[in-house]
Structure 1
Amino acid sequence: MNGEDWLPPETAVPAALDRRIAELVADWSARWFVGAGPEVQGLYRRGGGGGENWRGPPGGVTLRVPADAVAALGGRALDVPATDRRASDRELLESVGEDVLTDLRQRLAALVGSADAPWTPLFTAPSRTAMIGDLTLGLTDAAFARLAREAMAQTSYGPLGDGGQALARQRIRLGASVGGARLAFGDLHALAIGDVVVLDHALDAPLALTADHVRLTAGRGMIAIDSEATLRITQTIASVS
């Protein structure tokens, strides 16, 4: 067992992979059927059970076809009921249905890169399945992992929006740094009420602005004291350092 073959049981099916399978079935249905084709149910992890009636090529894709499904496909293609038919009519429906089924098998085989390989009986049930009408599509863990990786790699995202615009309504605390002083730890510990510490900032020099206590790389302000202290911006604000 290697990293490609193994997946945790709870691994989710990428929506892009379900869409890829649904689009494949839709194209197949549009070729053969009038109106809506067979309903497709997304992939899910299969429980226990045997591998009876599964057929597939090398590559990890399988298909289970129940009894009477081939004649039903022929009836749907010809837009006639497939039940209660004479032997000759049923033979015709099965012939048409086999062509319809062969086309689906070729499309599924191409999905895993095995378009020219023969379909043979399999005796190991796949780990993940999806219903296509009465048919059951199966994928081994290895095939599922490969297709999921391809589907996610093809998923495209639009360009990210402007970060400034996204944060425009975010509220921050604007302040100003009035300077500081470097002291030995012992001197700091010895400070008492009434002691004076000289800061490294002149009273008439612009103050560095802060946003949420983080210094801005550009932007200066001046303190004006009237009824309350205010800041006057004296340099363009650029970013947070």
Structure 2
Amino acid sequence: MAQVNRRSVLGGIAATSALMATGSSRSATAAQRAPKIALETVLARAESAKRRGTKYALYAEPPSERLAAWPRGHNADCSGFVGWCVGLPRTPRQIGVGTKLGTDQIYKDATADKALFTRIDAPEIGDIVLYPNYQIAPGVEGTPGHVALITAVRVDGSYDTIECASTPFHKTGDAIAFDRADTIFRGHAIELTRIRKAYPNLPADKVRDPIFARYLGLVR
């Protein structure tokens, strides 16, 4: 069996307030930087959401980013949950005033703006995997986007995640789930290949590949 390379959650939930300082208010540039957060803190925050009876609700406001642990029974969606894990509010100023942090916004930021996230080729623990929204054609049902936090990376490149999703919520009443997300990633890529063959004239921005991304404020 391939060895799992896991980072321990140091100090438990009591230590999750470490390294969450924001940029200096004296500088406009510093004020726009991604707030710093330690990897151990991100993982501890994610762990705190286990078995808390989280309810899935699209576009729901996550808990305050100042909370160190996830409250029981809170509403959330995938991007709200991942954003909370890295210490971000639902509407971080770095991506635009009043703009909610969602799958499309994370994708755009990671691939273009790079204010909070940047695209990477090979993920490490604490990075995210992101499946963008796409719409094949007007009137044709597309697929909703999804994002998950990577919690373990194996020597063969496969990985585990923690995520907030509607499927586990409908099955178990708890939206927080653990997955072999690399299998989903590969399945998504295969499906996109099929779609591109079936619709050869699709604009590139209609069908986008899943990507890995890293939060720029992450301290390892």
TM-score (norm 1): 0.22
Greater relative contact order (Cα 8 A, min sep 6): structure 1 or 2?
2
Higher Cα radius of gyration: 1
